[in-house]
Amino acid sequence: MNRSNAEKPSLDAHLNGDGLRRSMTNRQIQMMALGGVIGVGLFYGASLSVRLAGPSVLIDFLICGLIVAIVMRSLAEMSVEYPIAGSFGTYARELLGERIGFITSGMWWFYWVTTVMSELAAIGKLMQYWLPLMPAWVPGLVALVLFIFTNLLTVKIFGEVEYWFAMLKVLAVSAFILFGALMIVTGLGSGGHAVGFSNLWAHGGFAPNGLLGMVMAISLTVQAYSGVETLATEAGETKDPKRNIKRAFSAVSWRVAILYIGSIFIMLSAFPWNYLVNHAGSPYVLLFAKIGIPVAAGIVNLIIILSGLSSCNTGVYGGSRMLFGNVRGTKYESTIGRLNDKQVPYVAVWITGIAIAVGILVTYLSPNNVYVWITSASAFADLWVWAIILISEIVFHKRAMREGRSLSYPVPLWPLTPIIGLILVVLSVVAIIVSPLTQVSVFSGVLFLIILWVYHLVAGRSRKAA
């Protein structure tokens, strides 16, 4: 299944051969990556992870932040040398074998399809805040049609739309961190009495539910970080990729860490953790209401909807580009790999959109449970992708050393860095298996992996027979 060590990777054949237009700027690709990772999960699912682990969920966010930093740095090494649309799916195919590459691309496409399904379901429920009689599936359907349309336009226009979507989210989280810090230090909204940091340990300790609570919450924090690797799929349509990709990968990694770890730290310091989990509203609503903004609930509800829309927009893009890159050089290239006159892979966009539409049907049939069902199905898929990225980088780096090639952006402390990343990914999978809340994500993810594996095996035998 694997390529022989003597065979050089044929990644050079993919450079400038995808036919995509390189028109996205550095600011656009950075914001698209942030838009992909900061979705409904940060605002919508924070209370659940706090309920499981209490303040010790900060450790989970630090661990998952470290995994993301290592994965992104490893991916950056390969993306700077080979900025192609298929990204880690193509790297896996050329470095680890055709079947692994196919499965990895399929798993990541599955991740984005399920993620967008869950985000659209959440948007439908959130819209009922203003329009309680509106069916939850209607807003999701309208949003999906909108995003298919924007993804069929030139990538420059798409990048600009996503830039402003993501900018709104970043500003919202930044405002939360700023006002929360003022509450903690100056007592803003608390009668002038500084809150301080005692809430981190004063209510049952830092880890009130023990080690098991921390382990169970890891799965939710993995889901919160998932999607940041979308940045690499944008490399094939980026201006001056050698320069911009280095800057984008570096900036996105630390910005995600600050926004995620910073907002959770502020949340747990500003409010007792047991108050957060017993309050029906979002912690973000609580903070803005506490400082005296009367329309806080409506503002935060709008922000969460915009977060979901941004994540969906990025998901349709990332899924379609991965599908497009995965069929290059295969018998499906003549159909799925078609480009329109704007050099956009329109068939891949439509296929991705139609697959996501299944989630609209599920939302129609079961609007109250669909978000949890579909979200839990995506975690294993992204952990698989992270593991394959790290393994691919190890093989890629070894080949470069053997061939005497110098890399433009080598991973520091190699091979220790990717090995640490792999260990942490494996531990995260174990945590998901242990947690009864997210065991379904392992079963559904493994089932889809087996389907991809069997399909590729049968298709390969058919080609040999022909």
3-class SS string, the chain: CCCCCCCCCCHHHHCCCCCCCCCECHHHHHHHHHHHHCCHHHHHCHHHHHHHHHHHHHHHHHHHHHHHHHHHHHHHHHHHHCCCCCHHHHHHHHHHCHHHHHHHHHHHHHHHHHHHHHHHHHHHHHHCCCCCCCCCHHHHHHHHHHHHHHHHCCHHHHHHHHHHHHHHHHHHHHHHHHHHHHHHHHCCCCCCCCCCCHHHCCCCCCCCCHHHHHHHHHHHHHHHHCCCCHHHHCHHHECCHHHHHHHHHHHHHHHHHHHHHHHHHHHHHHCCHHHHHHCCCCHHHHHHHHCCCCCHHHHHHHHHHHHHHHHHHHHHHHHHHHHHHHHCCCCCHHHHCCCCCCCCCHHHHHHHHHHHHHHHHHHHHCCCCHHHHHHHCCHHHHHHHHHHHHHHHHHHHHHHHHCCCCCCCCCCCCCHHHHHHHHHHHHHHHHHHHCCCCHHHHHHHHHHHHHHHHHHHHHHHHHHHC
Confidence band of 6 (pLDDT split at 50, 70, 90)? very low
Half-sphere exposure of 33 (CA within 13 A, CB side): 29
> In degrees to the nearest 10, what's the CA dihedral of 330, 332, 336, 337?
30
Q: Which of 4-18, 220-234, 295-309 has the lowest mean pLDDT?
A: 4-18
Tell me how far apart the alpha carbons of residues 50 and 303 are, in angstroms, rounded to a whole number: 21
pLDDT of residue 9: 47
CA dihedral 249, 55, 199, 177 (to 10 degrees): 20
Query: In the prediction, which pLDDT does 32 show?
Result: 63
Is residue 27 pLDDT above 70, yes or no? no
pLDDT of 4 higher than 50: no
Is 15 a residue whose pLDDT tops 60? Answer: no
248 half-sphere exposure, CB direction, 13 A CA radius: 33
Question: What is the per-residue pLDDT across 412-434, written as a single tens digit (0 to 9) for each?
Answer: 999 999 999 999 999 988 888 87
What is the rounded CA–CA span in Å between residue 158 and residue 167? Answer: 14
Residue type, 312: C
User: Which tens digits make up the pLDDT trace of 236-252?
Assistant: 566 666 777 777 777 77
- Give the domains, in start order, of the chain with CATH numbers: 23-465 (1.20.1740.10)
Rounded mean pLDDT, 227-233: 73
CA 1 to chain centre: 29
Grade residue 3 by pLDDT with cuts at 50, 70 and 90: very low
Higher per-residue confidence, 3 vs 408? 408
Percent of the chain with pLDDT over 90: 11
CB atoms within 10 A of CB 344: 24
Closest CA to 220 of 176, 264, 168, 254: 264
The vertex-7 CA angle with 77 and 422, nearest 5°, equals 40
Tens of pLDDT along 380-404? 888 899 999 999 999 999 999 999 9
Residue-wise pLDDT for 121-148, tens only, equals 777 777 877 888 888 788 888 888 887 8
The answer to whether residues 306 and 169 touch, using CB atoms and an 8 Å cutoff, is yes
Higher-pLDDT residue of 67, 10: 67
Q: Are 393 and 137 spatial neighbours (Cβ–Cβ below 8 Å)?
A: no
pLDDT for res 398? 94
Residue carrying the six token digits 């993804």: 151
pLDDT digits (tens, 9 = 90+) for 329-376: 666 666 776 777 777 788 888 888 888 887 777 666 665 555 556 666
The predicted-structure confidence for 35-90, as pLDDT tens digits, reads as follows 656 666 666 667 778 888 889 999 998 998 899 889 989 988 998 888 776 678 88
Distance (Å, whole) CA 41 – CA 115: 10
Name the average pLDDT for the chain: 77
